[in-house]
Amino acid sequence: MREKAHDILFESVRIGPKTARNRFYQVPHCNGMGYRHPRALAAMRGVKAEGGWAVVSTEEAEIHPSSEVAPSIEGRIWSDEDIRHHTMVVEAIHKHGALAAIELCYNGPRPNYLSRLPPMGASAGPVGDIDPVHCRAMDLEDFRAVRRWHRQAALRARKAGYDLVYVYAGHGLTLTQHLLSRWTNRRTDMYGGSLENRTRFLRELLEDTKDAVGHDCAVPLRLAVDEALGSAGLERAEIEDVVASLADLPDLFDFCMGTWRHDSRTARFAAEGFQEPFVRGLKALTQKPVVGVGRFTSPESMAAQIRSGVLDFVGAARPSIADPFLPRKIDEGRADDLRECIGCNVCVSGDYLGVPIRCTQNPTMGEEWRRGWHPERIAAKHGGARILVVGGGPAGLEAAHQLGKRGYEVMLADASCELGGRAVRESRLAGLATYRRVAEYRLHQLSKLSAVTLFPGSLMTADDVLATEATHVALATGARWRRDGSGRRHPAGLDLSAHRSVLTPDDVLDGLLPSGSAVIFDDDHYLMGGALAGHLARTGCRVTLVTPASVVSAWTANTLEVDFIAEELVALGVRFLVRHDLSRVHYDAVEVRDVLTGAVVELAAEALVTVTARDPVDDLERALAKRGSESSHGIVSVARIGDCDVPATVAHAVHAGHLYARELNVERDADALPFRVEPIL
Ligand code: ADP
Ligand code: SF4
């Protein structure tokens, strides 16, 4: 039964000629599948529609090769050839009663690595952050061409069956935004100068699109409301004028931030609802419905956005990725079953790396077509079996949850009294609190499965395992950080014995806090080094972070965090030595070497924290193997899953636990490909 307070979320809302069945709106989001994996894309969007979203949107769809985003893989609607891919997506969305939206996009200046066409933009200058390519300033003929291409793309979108055809002016990615913003528009003609001139092209695209498809399709505008540039770029006063001047032209306003990194901030740097201050009040400037985002996962916050008149639709990208069935669960009064987004942006990393989307919380994301996984359904068990899962971290909890859903009898034992493994341990670091949700969601689901028994506080030995008389044993015993400095830079490790206090991240997470000066040697490059630096600085340590990489937490460039992390650490007084390697240690100092010049610097270090590599905790497996008597105890299989198999991200461990549960007792040809591959021809 739905809670009364949530009824408001299920009111239907008109968007131009279309009606949305409720207020849940999946805004456009990238996914690394785009034009290259259309079947996978259709299946993923279809699951969202099945989960109850009223509107399901594509990612940006390039309208012309003169502005393409290779090597990123986005949507494409360059020619009639592309229509059939889109029809597949639309049909999957319509099958479940949702409206399908496409975000048409002319990016403006891009290096055009694929098409090799000369880039053009609002004003001439270098394109991208580092690309060795300039663009030329568009002339009036160029503007006429882009209008024509946009119109043709809109007509194709209608032919494919889309209900909503976007005009896009957001995220710093679009020609329309570049023209709107004084930061990027230095023109002196009818498209430059006054705000009216800078809005002209956006108005023209809206009018063209309405004229081309407006009778059949709604035409939303996705508009950046702030560029984080102060008065040098788009800011509130101008945006109010833009919204007021366009007020009734689009059928809906979809507000976003002016850069992707500010729009999709991780939980480490922004709380739920963080965009409200930028959007509040804009709705009063138009009669048209308004959608906004803010990583909403609480139905109360969502309802409050509607009730207080900030939004008409609850927009979501990441919450819809973590839980495609979010609307249905709220509708059925099952808000306690929501798989809440943890705001980690591992989903974004798929797009950055040009591979299909993945999600820490939802291991089925991106696997709907190629593996046939569904976020809510799993095949019933094959035959009877008694399964022991050792380790209650992300991998073990996910395996136990899914095995329990399949109907197996499951025992889950963990040495720790608190289940959750690294998801809980690491959540104690500032900014990582939401990682707890990985454990909390699964523990709550497990509490409903009577065939799963939890044994916290149970350190398992080989004898204990054999005594359980389990048929299958899944070892999800995790990994521990190495203590000898071994990792990428020093595969054979370093002699650190002279130092008075060498700590690993595990030691710090266990509560060992150095005082005075600490050097962190980060040869891992994801979250841990930067998070520990912040943690120690907050407790009063003088921290120097040494890394062979050229930036701190280098891999977080893929999660849009790398600059935010550096800014935060600077504010906390952490000193960085990038492109430096640890070379020697003394009793209370370390020597670090510039990797370019070889120059050595000595740093005072009452503690040295090495963040280098992790070793699987596989002693239990080795002990079992030594006994060599599993079969005599009725054990059919022993498998390692998650970090105990391959140390990696939490997303990887959850996926491994899910895979294990899906495939247990399922006959498979060992040489067959593990998943379906999209045909190219
Ligand atoms: P993953 O990310 O792969 O799930 P974690 O490190 O988060 O791995 O979790 C591993 C869990 O396994 C920890 O909670 C740890 O207490 C538990 N564990 C490790 N060895 C044993 C053991 N021999 N018996 C019971 N629990 C164990
Ligand atoms: Fe949320 Fe992380 Fe999943 Fe992205 S990967 S949807 S941020 S939980």
DSSP string, 119-147: PEESS-EE-SSS-S-EEEEP-HHHHHHHH
* Residue 631: pLDDT over 80: no
CB proximity list for 188: less than 8 A, separation 6 or greater: none
Going by C-alpha positions, the residue among 542, 534, 547, 523 that lies closest to residue 614 is 523
For residue 632, is pLDDT > 80? Answer: no
Ligand at shortest distance from the CA of 420:
1
Q: What average pLDDT does range 450-460 have in this prediction?
A: 97
Q: Is the CB of 321 under 6 A from ligand 2?
A: yes
Cα of 651 to ligand 2 centre, how many Å?
9
pLDDT tens sequence across 207-228:
999 999 999 999 999 999 999 9
Q: Which atom of ligand 2 is nearest to the CA of 267?
A: 7
Q: What is the mean pLDDT of residues 662-677?
A: 93
Q: How many helices (H) and strands (E) does the chain have?
A: 21, 29
Q: Which one of the listed residues 25, 30, 86, 645 is annotated catalytic?
A: 30
The whole-number pLDDT of residue 435 equals: 98
Tens-digit pLDDT profile for residues 349-389? 999 999 999 999 999 999 999 999 999 999 999 888 999 99
How far apart, in Å, are the Cα atoms of 270 and each of 296, 348, 516, 595? 12, 16, 30, 35
Locate the ligand 2 atom nearest the alpha carbon of residue 343 and give its number.
Answer: 7
Cβ–Cβ contacts within 10 Å for residue 668, how many?
8
Statement: residue 63 has pLDDT above 70: yes
**Which residues are 62's β-sheet partners?**
76, 105
Complete edge-to-edge strand list for the sheet that includes strand 409-413: 452-455, 409-413, 386-390, 472-475, 637-640
- Give the distance (Å) from ligand 2 centre to CA of residue 320: 9
Phi/psi for 30 (5° steps) reads -70, 160
Positive or negative: CA dihedral 574, 577, 581, 585: negative
Nearest ligand 1 atom, CA 619: 23
Residue 387 pairs with which residues in a beta bridge?
410, 472
**Annotation says 30 is catalytic:** yes
Q: What is the overall mean pLDDT for the chain?
A: 96
Cβ neighbours of 500 (radius 10 Å):
13
Nearest protein CA to atom 1 of ligand 2, as residue: 341
Question: What would the 3-class secondary structure string for 199-227 be?
Answer: HHHHHHHHHHHHHHHCCCCECEEEEECCC
Which residues approach ligand 1 with their CB closer than 6 A? 390-396, 413-416, 421-422, 458-460, 476-478, 617, 620, 642-644, 653
- pLDDT at position 374, please? 98
Task: Give yes or no for residue 318 CB within 6 A of ligand 2.
Answer: yes
pLDDT at 680: 87
| pLDDT confidence tier of residue 629, bands split at 50, 70 and 90 | low
The Cα-based distances of 582 to 269, 449, 485, 517, 601 in angstroms read 30, 49, 9, 16, 10
- At 229-286, the pLDDT tens digits run 999 999 899 999 999 999 999 999 999 999 999 999 999 999 999 999 999 999 999 9
Pick from 26, 30, 47, 318 the residue to mutate for probing ligand 2's pocket: most ligand atoms within 8 Å of its CB.
318
CB atoms within 10 A of CB 614: 22
Q: How far is the CA of 396 from the centre of ligand 1 (A)?
A: 8
pLDDT at 333 over 90: yes
Distance between CA atoms of residues 238 and 222, nearest Å? 16
Cα separations in angstroms, 663 against 391, 404, 618: 19, 13, 22
Rounded to the nearest angstrom, the distance between the alpha carbon of 643 and the centre of ligand 1 is: 9
Residue among 59, 103, 9 nearest 317 (CA) = 59
- Distance CA(657)–CA(11), nearest Å, equals 38
642: CA distance to ligand 1 center in Å?
Answer: 10
Catalytic residue, chosen from 106, 168, 441, 526, is 168
630 pLDDT tier (thresholds 50, 70, 90): low
Q: Give the pLDDT of residue 439.
A: 98
pLDDT exceeds 80 at position 637: yes
Task: Please state the rounded mean pLDDT for residues 658-662.
Answer: 98
Q: Which ligand is nearest to the CA of 510?
A: 1
Q: Give the three-class secondary structure for 180.
A: helix
CA dist., res. 198 & res. 179, Å (int): 5
Strand partners of residue 76: 62
Q: Which atom of ligand 2 is closest in space to residue 358's alpha carbon?
A: 5
142 CA → ligand 2 middle, Å: 39
Residue 323: per-residue pLDDT: 98
**Do residues 397 and 446 touch, judged by C-beta distance below 8 A?**
yes
DSSP 4: G
Exactly one of 82, 208, 251, 263 is catalytic; which is it?
Answer: 263
Q: Quick check: CB of 322 below 6 Å from ligand 2? A: yes
